[in-house]
Amino acid sequence: MLFLVAYDIPDDGTCTQVADELENWGHRVQYSVFECDLDQPRCLLMVERLRKLICAKDSIRVYRIWQTCASAVTLLGRGRSVMRDRDFYEV
């Protein structure tokens, strides 16, 4: 399953910790956005580890991208798909 993780964290130290943790689970596609190809148990483990790093003023959103939607991703400009074995469209 593909998960999109986006975060907004004002503290630079916490932001770095979150980014470092996410590097273990997926690929950075924007400054504060990661794509993670995980099964459900691994996603839950990732969420639990992220939860331990943040405080009330921080925000992390984890979106599950369904297979039918993941195959219709459009990329504009720089970047590449990190989704393997899926249809991908570049514009």
In angstroms, rounded to a whole number, what is the distance separating the alpha carbons of residues 69 and 73? 7
pLDDT at residue 70 in the model = 67
pLDDT digit string (tens) for 22-69? 999 999 999 999 999 999 999 999 999 999 999 999 999 999 988 767
- Looking at the structure of the chain, the number of domains it has is 1
Q: Give the domain extent around 45.
A: 2-90
Residue 83 has pLDDT above 70, yes or no: no
pLDDT at residue 89 in the model = 41
Burial classification of residue 73, based on how many CB atoms lie within 10 Å of its CB (0-12 exposed, 13-18 middle, 19 or more buried): middle
CATH of residue 80's domain is: 3.30.70.240
Strand partners, 38: none
Amino acid at residue number 49: R
Task: Quickly state the pLDDT bin for 88 (edges 50, 70, 90).
Answer: very low
